[in-house]
Amino acid sequence: MTRPLIILLVLVCAAPLAPAQNEPSPPSVRVPVQTELVRIDVMVSDKSGRPQLGLAAEDFEVLEDGVPQRISQFRAFAAPEAPASTAAKAAGAEPEGATATEPEAPPRRLVLLAVDDVHIDAANLIRLKKTLQRFLERDVPQEDLVGLVTTSGTRSNPLTTEREVLRQAVAKLSVQSRSQATVASAHITPYQAEMIELGDPEALRVAVEEITAQRPSPNAEAEAQALARQVLAESVADARATLETLEQIVRGMADLPGRKAVVLCSDGFLTGLSTRGQGAFDIRRITDAGTRAGVVVYGLDSRGLQANAPGAGAANRRLVMPSIMGARERVTQAGDLAIHDAMHALAAGTGGFLEAFTNDFSGALRKIVHDTDAYYLLAYEPTNGRHDGAFRTIEVRVPRLKGARLRHRKGYLAPDARAAAATGVGPAAREISSVSSEAGPDPLAEALSSSAPAEALRVSLSADFVSVDATSSQLLVSGHVDLRHVPFTRSAERHLATLDMAASVFDEAGRLVRSLPAESAALDLTDASYALALRNGLQFQKAVPLPPGRYRVVLAARETDGGGIGKATQWAEVPDLGSGRLTLSGLFLTKQEGPAPRGERGAATPPQARNAQANRVYRQEDSLGVEFFVYRGAGPGGEKLVSKTELWQDGVLVSASRPEPLTARGGDGRPRAHTRRFPLGAFPRGSYEVRVVVEDDQAGTEASARAAFRIE
């Protein structure tokens, strides 16, 4: 089975967020390959699973291949809601003279859901999809970045805060074809095939008797062995492809800041290591990838709680043979345990764990997500500097804390000087070659396609569908750069800075559809205009003609002199106006000046307004303006349309306008602009959502649109 190479798995697609004044900085402990600094996330808990806080660097011992290492960097993190245990201090764990490190608020969490759509049964996938839908809707914190990828390579949704985008991707998941060999006379599982290859007589006897029960065969044993080799080879190839994809996913997250977790959802597979075949995958490569990229891998056994009765279920076409029933069940159960052990080892090597033998998938996912609410970050420079390609085993202890449970990454692969010599590339150069492209000649273009976030500048983005003639469609791409974070230079009573801005549009498959050329803004401002610029920011707006479909828009800005870059990403839908359905444009948010128009008649001419749709941040003294267009076909239903405008906060309706009649088109037959206004003085600071609903009572249809904003 061949699979497409997954390249842009972890593009950060977070919806623009308001600047967080107290958001913690990402951990400063890095893994510079040149010095081989090794970073370890260590989760310490008591017997009840509660995090053990209050530990200092002196409490920990780190050993590499049994040799003690000196901890050179140490940080402690704990979310405010972490159910911490105080047993560490109560037990007198702190050594004399040691000072416990006060925990910091953890950095943003990044969760990538990796669905193994090759090694999963159709019924299990249906149940998993329902769980993932609920998880995305209810359980995952809104500030977390979440992405979705399949091990077959058929789907890749970058990390984002847009939950609806991910829910749509989950709905499209399907089981991919397997290449496992089958014959009518016998069914040999991958584990049974592995046992036959290793010379297990019971596994072979089961296969031989199932073959001879169907038809006499003088060469049944040779036939079973040949079939076992075919099943095992294809099983190992599938598992290797899955694990290579997982390794690529983990290594691809190396440059992303934050708490990074990959959740592998799978029925399980065998690595093939026990037969020492050439196609077997060494799962220590995943451990090495996790150590170097700072990623914890977790497993979710999508088979759930299994209670198979002896013999065969109704869906099993295998003959029920009393003579081998016991042997068949022993082989099957041993195979289930082997699969479980492989997934457990895969997760444990990176400091994670496997959630298995449970039907509470939602609870398992919540447990996984909150596992890194409290942890310690340790780093050391290995005393063994040999580049021999060997696996270095890591062990972490807390000797003074009795009964503590520790989870951490178990090791890494040392650079291989022999392999480097064969290729003519040094170890350090080979390690950093995957990210060397970031120093390319066009930093702005690199930022638009890079997998790493860029936050040196505060950039906001709004990409909204609109059609000026109800036939051709386009996205209005609006951007905003917060100039308060731009390093202006002072010269002769002037404030100077130069910024470049550009945008790219990608389709749902990740292909580049449109590139918006860069625009440069040379700012040469007096004191008065500088103060105004800091308040209003720098605006960017372009109209991009596009056919119907779903698109991802990326906007990047760069401060030319200092080189600081920021970017923002948003998904947008361009509907098919030819369908004749009642449709709304995007909602264009403005800050209005002067009296608001009343009803439909005053809405034909948009009011004087300052465009604020990109940053969508308001003060309580502002009035929120909402502009939109309505499109309808020539089907049943007249022009008797009614609109309602609502404000929501945390899923609760806090204000609504009276129903207002409107018509979709003006006297010239073109779509009419409609504007509504909400004074914001009565609303407390916080995050809100404005919704517009248009109803056609005659046709019995309605359409709606929504947009988020903040009051500060």
Per-residue pLDDT tens digits for 185-198? 456 888 888 888 88
Q: How far apart are the first and last CA of the chain?
A: 54
3-state secondary structure of 513: strand
pTM of the model: 0.62
Fold of 109-181+241-371: Rossmann fold (3.40.50)
Cβ atoms within 10 A of the Cβ of 175, count?
16
Nearest to 377 by CA among 39, 653, 633: 39
Question: What angle do the packed helices 284-293 and 220-252 form, to 10 degrees?
Answer: 10
DSSP letters for 148-186: EEETTSS-EEEEES-HHHHHHHHHT--PPPP-----SS-
Please check whether residue 125 is in contact with residue 117, taking contact to mean a CB–CB distance below 8 angstroms. yes
Span 580-712 CATH architecture:
Sandwich (2.60)
Please check whether residue 551 is in contact with residue 475, taking contact to mean a CB–CB distance below 8 angstroms. yes
Dihedral, 613, 619, 620, 624 alpha carbons, nearest 10: -10
Nearest to 169 by CA among 147, 143, 142, 140: 147
DSSP letters for 238-303: HHHHHHHHHHHHHHHTTT--SEEEEEEEES-----GGGT-TT---THHHHHHHHHHTEEEEEEETT
Amino acid residing at 19:
P
Q: Please state, in angstroms and rounded to a whole number, the distance separating the CA atoms of residues 119 and 277.
A: 20
CATH of 440-579, one of 2.60.40.3880, 3.40.1180.10, 3.30.565.10, 2.40.30.10: 2.60.40.3880
Q: Which are the contacts of 569, defined by CB distance < 8 A and separation ≥ 6?
A: 11, 12, 13, 14, 15, 158, 160, 461, 552, 553, 554, 555
Dihedral, 661, 662, 663, 664 alpha carbons, nearest 10: -130
Q: Which are the contacts of 329, defined by CB distance < 8 A and separation ≥ 6?
A: 310
3-state secondary structure of 73: strand
Sheet holding 67-69, edge to edge: 67-69, 61-64, 391-397, 411-413
Q: Please state, in angstroms and rounded to a whole number, the distance separating the CA atoms of residues 75 and 61.
A: 15
Dihedral, 450, 452, 455, 456 alpha carbons, nearest 10: -70
**Is 601 exposed, middle or buried, given 0-12, 13-18 or 19+ CB atoms closer than 10 A?**
exposed
CA 559 and chain centroid, separation: 28
Decide whether 109-181+241-371 matches 580-712 in CATH topology.
no
Question: What are the sequence ranges of the domains in the chain?
Answer: 35-60+69-96, 109-181+241-371, 440-579, 580-712
Please check whether residue 45 is in contact with residue 370, taking contact to mean a CB–CB distance below 8 angstroms. no
pLDDT for 25 equals: 40
Q: How far is CA 563 from CA 447, 448, 517, 524, 525, in A?
A: 12, 15, 19, 18, 20
Nearest to 136 by CA among 362, 304, 297: 362
- How do strand 538-545 and strand 583-584 relate by DSSP bridges? unpaired
Tally of CA atoms within 13 A in the half-sphere of 652 that contains its CB: 4
3-state secondary structure of 530: helix
Please check whether residue 516 is in contact with residue 444, taking contact to mean a CB–CB distance below 8 angstroms. no
Nearest to 380 by CA among 75, 71, 76: 71
Q: Which are the contacts of 123, defined by CB distance < 8 A and separation ≥ 6?
A: none
Helices (H) and strands (E) in the chain — how many of each?
Answer: 13, 33
Please check whether residue 223 is in contact with residue 188, taking contact to mean a CB–CB distance below 8 angstroms. no
3-state secondary structure of 537: coil
- How do strand 259-266 and strand 295-301 relate by DSSP bridges? parallel
Instruction: Kindly report the backbone phi and psi dihedral angles of residue 305, in degrees, each rounded to the nearest multiple of 5, phi listed first.
Output: -85, 115
Nearest to 374 by CA among 143, 84, 90: 84
CA 607 and chain centroid, separation: 40
- Residues facing residue 648 across a β-bridge: 653, 689
Nearest to 687 by CA among 707, 711, 655: 711
572: tokens are 């947008």
Q: Which residues of the chain have pLDDT under 50?
A: 1-35, 87-97, 180-185, 309-317, 420, 423-441, 593-610, 635-638
Residues shown for the chain: 712
432: tokens are 């950093």
Q: Please state, in angstroms and rounded to a whole number, the distance separating the CA atoms of residues 429 and 259.
A: 26
**Is 569 exposed, middle or buried, given 0-12, 13-18 or 19+ CB atoms closer than 10 A?**
buried
5: tokens are 């190479």
